[in-house]
Structure 1
Amino acid sequence: MLQIRHSAERGAANHGWLNSHHSFSFGHYHDPKHMGFGPLLVINEDRVAPAQGFGTHGHRDMEIISYVLEGALEHKDSMGTGSILHYGDVQRMSAGSGVRHSEFNPSPSEGVHFLQIWIQPNVTGIAPSYEEKHFAPESKLGKLRLIASSDGRQDSVKIHQDAAIYASILREGEQLEHALKAGRTAYVHLIRGSLVVNGVPLKTGDALKLTQEAAVTLSQAEAAEVLVFDLPY
């Protein structure tokens, strides 16, 4: 079964300093038809104005992944971690028993554009932890590059859930296929460009839910960057 999630139908929140689009219910946006997809609970596409950001706030028992698209994102947390992320960087923070952090755009003139992804963990109350890795664009060209997994295989960041996240950059005419094992489902989020997924055309910001499908097929790409989530059913 295939279900498209059009970009224009996402929840929108514009606070001036923050322009955000929510794929699933989040904050003041509530849609009972879009409460998450399996353990995937949040995909927020955030644009933060120069010298602005999210002040220090807390999380518990959540796998939080940031995927930077443009600009710089500065992270600080109660574990003593501090870092500035750029395009190609993927950050994973396991909130576990509790962590406080802030996210800030350190540039005085350029905005930052990133995806914030929340995945419900399969363990709770663990010690909070942080991990960050860089995935060069070349590593994603014409292939599905594993960027997050339950065991950190292929030098991906490790998340506490039986899930895998792949990133790909596809140029015109390139196509890929990702097989889905029995009992697995998939969510495809198109970051930019255009793409046909299992016969369904997607444009920038669109997504597709796949259930009871044998594979994810990506084709007819045009300057596409995409995330593929392989999830438990």
Structure 2
Amino acid sequence: MSGTLYAGSTRSQESVPGRTTRHSFSFGPHYAPTNLGFGPLVCHNDDVLDPAPAIVAGYSEHPHTELEIVTWVLEGALVHTDSTGASHVVEAGRAQVLSAGTGIRHSEVADPASGRCRFVQAWLLPSAPGAEPSYVLGEAPPPRSHLVEVAGGSGLPIGTTGARLLVARLSPGSSVVLPDDPRQHVFAATGAVAVGDVALGAGDALRITDEPGRSVTATEATELLVWTFADPAG
């Protein structure tokens, strides 16, 4: 199989009061010239926010330009506010897409009423820079034992052509077949899976190129996140 395993234990980590972030790619001071991205995917962060008295857990208002920012909430709820006027509480099992375009400001903090929050956020390069900023929030799909498009494809629109985020919730022993896209980022957010003879534990990722249709089998109850890209050159 043409794929590379990236163990969660090898990720760079940032911890501040109320927040722990694990980075899959080169990020900020954690510069890694051989790990700048995977096709158009340039960030895949795993954040845990833990609100406490006198602590606003998360990210205060800050700017972005020319990024497609896709968030999937795994646990708790995330409060999103941005300069388009959007303000939402994003519960576990929902996706949001923020297209930064020519420039946007936003904040993301844990909802104190929901307690601990965990979310995975991906940044992608847009196919056509210069778009107007926009925001869209998805509905929570019912739990599925097969891959469901939550962003890109039939899911929320993304300004990166050919990019899709698919999610499945697998019980032990159940399997899914990965799509035919030539570039895929497979992430075990929880639980554990086997992709052929490669084992992924919680927080591990497998980056696959030119090996479509691989089978993924859960060895524990697992929430699986799969990014696929139609263009192998990215």
Tell me the TM-score normalized by structure 2: 0.91
Alignment-mate amino acid for residue 18 of structure 1: R
- Residue deviations 1:61-120 (CA, integer Å, cap 9, x gap): 100011111112111111111001110110100000111111122306822111111111
Percent same amino acid among aligned pairs? Answer: 33
**Equivalence for 1:106:** 111
Within 5 Å, give how 1:51-66 maps onto structure 2: 51-66=56-71
* Mapped partners of 2:220, 2:49: distance in 1: 27
Which of 186, 189, 192 aligns to 1:188? It is 186
Alignment-mate amino acid for residue 170 of structure 2: L
* Mapped partners of 1:222, 1:109: distance in 2: 26
Tell me the TM-score normalized by structure 1: 0.92
Asked if the contact 2:77–2:114 (Cα under 8 Å) also holds between the matched residues in 1, the reply is no
Alignment-mate amino acid for residue 179 of structure 1: P
Shift of 1:221: 3.3
Determine helix, strand or coil for the equivalent of 2:219.
Answer: strand
RMSD: 1.4
Asked if the contact 1:63–1:159 (Cα under 8 Å) also holds between the matched residues in 2, the reply is yes
Alignment-mate amino acid for residue 126 of structure 1: A
Determine helix, strand or coil for the equivalent of 2:221.
Answer: strand
* Mapped partners of 1:25, 1:89: distance in 2: 26
Asked if the contact 1:47–1:112 (Cα under 8 Å) also holds between the matched residues in 2, the reply is yes
**Equivalence for 1:178:** 178
Which range moved further: 209-218 or 186-195? 209-218
Alignment-mate amino acid for residue 225 of structure 2: L
Asked if the contact 1:90–1:132 (Cα under 8 Å) also holds between the matched residues in 2, the reply is yes
Q: Which runs of 5+ in 1 are unaligned?
A: none
- Residue deviations 1:21-46 (CA, integer Å, cap 9, x gap): 00011121111222110001111111
Alignment-mate amino acid for residue 75 of structure 1: H
Asked if the contact 1:13–1:21 (Cα under 8 Å) also holds between the matched residues in 2, the reply is yes
- Residue deviations 1:201-228 (CA, integer Å, cap 9, x gap): 1000000011121323211431011111
**Equivalence for 1:159:** 158
* Mapped partners of 2:169, 2:119: distance in 1: 16
**Equivalence for 1:217:** 215
Determine helix, strand or coil for the equivalent of 1:21.
Answer: strand
* Mapped partners of 2:166, 2:179: distance in 1: 13
Asked if the contact 1:175–1:221 (Cα under 8 Å) also holds between the matched residues in 2, the reply is no
Within 5 Å, give how 1:6-25 maps onto structure 2: 6-25=7-26
- List structure 1 runs of 4+ shifted beyond 6 angstroms: none
More strand by share: 1
Residue 204 and residue 146 in structure 1: after superposition, are their counterparts in 2 closer, same or farther (change >3 A)? same
Residue 218 and residue 109 in structure 1: after superposition, are their counterparts in 2 closer, same or farther (change >3 A)? closer
- Residue deviations 1:117-171 (CA, integer Å, cap 9, x gap): 1111101010011110123342xx210001111xx52xx1000112111100111
**Equivalence for 1:77:** 82
Q: Which runs of 5+ in 2 are unaligned?
A: none
1:148 aligns with 2:151: yes
* Mapped partners of 1:67, 1:84: distance in 2: 13
Residue 221 and residue 145 in structure 1: after superposition, are their counterparts in 2 closer, same or farther (change >3 A)? farther
* Mapped partners of 2:163, 2:96: distance in 1: 16
Alignment-mate amino acid for residue 61 of structure 2: T
1:37 aligns with 2:42: no
